[in-house]
Structures are given as C-alpha cells and as structure tokens.
Amino acid sequence: MAKVIVGLEVGMGAVKAVELTHRKNGYQLRKLAKLEIPFEDYGHTKREKIIVKVIKDLINKYGINTRRVVSGVGGESVIVRRITLPLITEKEISQAVKWQAEEYIPYSMDQVYLGYHVLNQRFSQEKGEEMAVILVGVKRETIEKHLWLLRQAGVSPQAIGVNTVALFNVFQLSNLDETDGIAILEIGHSTTSIVLLDKGSPSLIRDVNLAGFHITETIAEKIGTSFATAEQIKQRYGLVTSNRSEGEVDLNDGPKELNTKGKVDKSLVDQVIKKSMEDLVEEIIHSFEYYASQREGRPIKKVVLSGGTAQLRNIGKFLSQELGLPVEIISPFAKITYESKKFQLDYLARVGPMFTVALGFALQEVKQI
C-alpha cells in the first residue's frame, strides 16, 4: 500500500517541506512548500514564536499532514562519524554503538541522544567480517528544542533525523554510478554540511557554522544597507564573474523590493562575497586534506553542491577555481516521478537544491499508522 511521508526542514531562514508518496517501484512528488522566516534582531524567545508561526502558516497554506512528518536537526551540536564494527546482530549493534560513542562524542553520554545507521557495506578482515555504521550523537537540548518547536506548531513527528544523513540519502538515490571521492556540500542559511564519500558511503561528515547568512551579513556591513536589501543584492547579482567585475548597477532597475536609491558597484558585490567565503573555503579545504591524510582516505575528485546558496550566481565556477575541482549542482528530484501539470522540469531543476535535506527526510521509511 502506498504511503505518504512529509520531510520537514526547519532552518534559520526558512521552513521547507517535501511530500512524497512511497510506492513499491519508487517515489512520487506530491507537494513542495517553502516559507521564509523573517529576519529581525529579536530576542531568542520571540524568534522561537516567529518560527512556530511560520511552521503553522506553511501547514495551513499547503495542507501538510502533520502526522506523517519526518524532520531533523543539524549544526555543530550534531556529531556524525563512520565507525567499523564486527558483523553482529541488530540487538548487539545498539550496545556496541554506546561503547564506541565515548571515543567519538565530545560530550557526556547523559547529554546526548545516540543513534546509528547501518550502511550496506561489509569488509573482510583477518579477524572476520566487519560492517560500516554511521554513529550519530546529538545534544539533548538540540533535539528537545526542535521537538518543542514542532509540537507548538501542532506537528507530531514520526521520526527525527540528521540533516547530513538526509543529504546522503538523496545523493545515494540519484547518483548510483559515482560513489568514490565525492564531496557533497550543502550550503544553507546558517550551516554548511560537508559529506565526503568513499566506496558509496560517508567517510567524513561535519557541519560548519558558515553559510548564506554570513555572506548576506557581510554585504550589509560593507555596502552599508539593511539585511533584507543585502539579501536581495546577493540573490540578484551574486558572483558577477569569475574574476573582476566592472561597472555599476542601478538598484532602481532591480526588483521593486529594492528601494535603496543610488548605485551598487557590481565589482564590490563580487569582491565582498568572495571575501566573505574565504573562511568557508578554508574549512572545506581543511576537511579534504584531513580526510586524504587518513589511513583509508583518498583525494576528492568532484564536488556536488546543494542548499539554497547553490543558487548564488557563478558560485559553482568560483568554488571550482578555489578548490581546483569540478563542481556540479545537485539534481535531487532526478529519480523522483511527478505530474507535469503540477511541476515543471525547469522549476524543479532551479529550486531543487534548496529542498535536498527536506527530500532526504521524506525518503525515510516509517511505520504505517
């Protein structure tokens, strides 16, 4: 029997949902939904209330089934590691993960929720067969805060996952032929997730608190404008060229929302964005070098770019130059069927990268109720 799963991503900049029908022979897209979270310098408590309201608004506007939701968390409070265990039973894995977690999780065990994901990967060693397992540790306060937001909005989640694992699930579905030496970069609003793949499974996973918000904030500071206007400038002009930009752009020729009078130098926008991404590029390079230096590590051959910031003009060219690697934009809906009357191919190609994590949650199997 076909069942419906809703993947719900609650980010710092937007709430996104992907509704899928799970069928025996694949998945069908039913709904895509996204609402922005207004940026204001509110206190912590008021911002939580705003996020709850945005979740409620999205549910009401798009008719989201609140009992079929899988959501998740990300950020630096989430620790994900690939570990190797002897080939043991499902019951034994839980105990083994708890024992190994103390080595990998930098928090007291009473402060975290532990989880794991068994990969379809086995190794033959002298001492017998081993298997690869993804170990997940999340600070309890992170999970509890996320659950509180969902429940305040009337959502009863079927499961809580992790953004980076959701990201891997999407790549695994749509890229069966390329599995070695791949780096997936999900550059979102406030966090960039780095997932390095080897032999078809994640070998290194980490989150860095540098992403689209940092770029917009830097534009606002350097150009001397509001955050909202800086976001519009970023989205409209992006990285104008791979090298230096020339000339000026009259903001009055842009979207109506750009009420700022005067002109913005395209080369200045280009330089500010590049400067704002220096720290992120360094973190990415550091991750690549660290992985390559490990006993089972190897050089990265290609980068797959995901997340809302993947829509930034010329970002693929820029990262390719900085990293010295080919960069391509992910096509998360490549293996998902849909009704052409509801969704256009070019639309899914354009917005797809920003829905990758939500789609990864929607791909998760949960028990029918």
For residue 182, the cross-strand partners are: 197, 302
- Domain assignment present for 127: no
Q: Are residues 264 and 350 both part of a single domain? A: no
- pLDDT at position 126 is 57
Task: Identify whether residues 304 and 347 lie together within a single domain.
Answer: no
Query: Residue 58 domain-assigned?
Result: yes
CB 199 within 8 A of CB 122: no
Region of 314 on the Ramachandran plot (φ > 0 left; ψ -120 to 50 alpha; else beta): left
Confirm whether 45 is domain-assigned: yes
Q: How many CB atoms lie within 10 A of CB 346?
A: 8
Collect all residues with Cβ–Cβ distance below 8 Å to 218 and sequence separation of at least 6.
272, 273, 275, 276
Stretch (H or E) spanning 121: strand 112-125
Q: Are 230 and 270 found together in one domain?
A: yes
Residues 314 and 217 in one domain: yes
Q: Are 342 and 260 found together in one domain?
A: no
Long-range contacts of the stretch 329-332 (C-beta < 8 A, 24+): 329/304, 329/305, 329/353, 330/170, 330/171, 330/174, 330/184, 330/304, 330/305, 330/306, 330/356, 331/174, 332/170, 332/174, 332/306, 332/356, 332/359
- Residue 91 inside a domain? The answer is no
Q: For residue 354, what are the domain limits?
A: 3-68+334-362
Q: Are residues 324 and 342 in the same domain?
A: no
Q: Quote the number of domains for the chain.
A: 2
Residues 197 and 323 in one domain: yes
Q: Are residues 187 and 295 in the same domain?
A: yes
Whole-structure pTM over 0.85, yes or no? yes
14: number of Cβ within 10 Å: 17
CATH number of the domain that residue 253 is part of: 3.30.420.40
Distances (CA, A) of 333 to 107, 229, 344, 356: 37, 31, 11, 9
In a domain, 122, yes or no: no
Whether residue 200 is contained in a domain is answered as yes
Residues whose CB falls within 8 Å of the CB of residue 285, separated by 6 or more in sequence, listed in order: 323
- Identify whether residues 314 and 349 lie together within a single domain: no
Q: pLDDT truncated to tens, each residue of the chain (369 aa)?
A: 579 999 999 998 999 999 999 998 899 999 999 999 987 765 567 889 999 999 999 999 999 999 999 999 998 888 888 888 888 887 788 888 888 888 888 888 889 998 888 876 565 555 568 888 888 999 999 999 999 999 999 999 999 999 998 998 898 887 656 778 899 999 999 999 999 988 777 888 888 999 999 999 999 999 889 998 999 999 989 997 544 444 444 444 444 344 445 567 788 899 999 999 999 999 999 999 988 887 677 889 999 999 999 999 999 999 999 999 999 999 999 999 999 999 999 999 999 999 999 999 999 875 432
Same domain, residue pair 215 and 325: yes
348 plus 318 within the same structural domain: no
Paired strand residues for 115:
136
Residue 86, φ and ψ in degrees, nearest 5: -60, 155
pLDDT of the residue at 254: 42
Let me know if residue 313 belongs to a domain: yes
* 184 lies in the same domain as 227: yes
Note whether residue 118 is domain-resident.
no
